[in-house]
Amino acid sequence: MAFRSMATAARQSLKIGMLPADGIGREVLPAARAAIIALGSSIPKPEFIDLAAGFELFTKTGTALPDETVSILQNECDCALFGAVSSPSRKVVGYSSPIVALRKKMDLYANIRPVASVAATAGGKPDVDLVVIRENTECLYIKQETLQQGEFGKEARATRLITERASRRIGDMAFKTALSRPRKHVTIIHKSNVLSVTDGLFRETVRAVPALPEVNGRYDQITIAEQLVDSAVYRLFREPHIFDVMVAPNLYGDILSDAAAALVGSLGLVPSINAGDSFVMGEPVHGSAPDIAGQDIANPLAAMRSAALMLRHLGYGEGADRIEKAVDEVIREGNVLTPDLGGKSKTSEVVNEVVKRI
């Protein structure tokens, strides 16, 4: 994938905010760091800035995302990497997910999640090769919920927000991404047959992006399709080859990309970046996996791939290629893999193998 380059010839160093957060985030983020360091002089000298965030931090301090963390990201860092967060499934008074908050505070409106299998032979064509472009700031993730007593017991309500501005921005990101890919195809995911107002606005706004005057016809070669979200999940498992770039509101994009991970073997393989117009933050798609935290068996490959995506977005394509090639070689050979991929290797062993190949 090619994105607008943020690289500058004069940059002497690359300041990277590191937010391991919770669980296995503290084990996989060092893997991403090791991959970046292994690139040597092909990128500006990396400077890693350790920053605090997460549910475990909240339990100790009452704050999941300190103002200092946000300030340093905004004023000192060129980019960032996020590990994983252990957001509880029950309501915890005063707690809000730091990753959701970061996306909003840093205006990281696009969550870009490529899902691709590794071809059996080097240079071969993967069976699965798609990108989910997830709107990152709205939908039900605005977290406006109420609980009240109704006629038949408790009633829980949630507000869903879809705006023209956010839909247009994510649509433009989807078309830009498709333009850099061989198939140049975008599928708009929605449920406007039921949610005719909210999903209807998303669908109509994204469809209208190629005709915008400022676009000036640059997306004319891209083909557009639509798919209802429920049938999209079905076809994702039956016919993944029909999809190239999938663009979706926040919740649908989250579900679709996690489901797509099953097609390539593990959530531990799927990377992402949270991207805005002036900042990018890499983030593996997997969660904090508290059941395996601290056992040195977490899959580090998604974090390493997220580092590569981040570097590519910044304009350092050669370094990104080296990391991705090394990861693909390790997966293809299959001798050094973590248990989620059927292997018996430790996290540290996989990291060492990838770094050696970089």
pLDDT digit string, tens, across residues 317-334: 999 999 999 999 999 999
Residue 1 domain-assigned (yes or no): no
Q: Please state the domain count of the chain.
A: 2
Residues serving a catalytic function are 141, 191, 230, 254, 258
pTM of the model: 0.92
- Angle among Cα 217, 221, 223 to the nearest 5 degrees reads 115
Percent with pLDDT over 70 in the chain:
97
pLDDT range class, residue 3, cuts 50, 70, 90: very low
pLDDT for position 7: 55
pLDDT for position 286: 93
Residue 196 domain-assigned (yes or no): yes
Residue 115 domain-assigned (yes or no): no
pLDDT for position 10: 56
Secondary structure, 3-state, 285-339: CCCCCCCCCCCCCCCCHHHHHHHHHHHHHHCCHHHHHHHHHHHHHHHHHCCCCCH
Do residues 140 and 65 both lie within one domain?
no
Do residues 235 and 288 both lie within one domain?
no
Do residues 345 and 295 both lie within one domain?
yes
Q: Is the pLDDT of residue 191 over 50?
A: yes
Per residue in 342-357, pLDDT (tens digit) is: 999 999 999 999 999 9
The domain that contains 142 carries what CATH number? 3.40.718.10
Kindly state the DSSP code that residue 218 receives in the 8-state scheme: T
pLDDT for position 340: 94
Burial per residue of 94-110, b for 16 or more beta-carbon CB atoms within 10 angstroms, e otherwise: eeebbbbebbeebebbb
Report the alpha-carbon distance of residue 351 to residue 205 in Å, rounded: 43
Per residue in 10-37, pLDDT (tens digit) is: 578 999 999 999 999 999 999 999 999 9
Report the alpha-carbon distance of residue 118 to residue 264 in Å, rounded: 8
- Which of 236, 263, 290 terminates a domain? The answer is 263
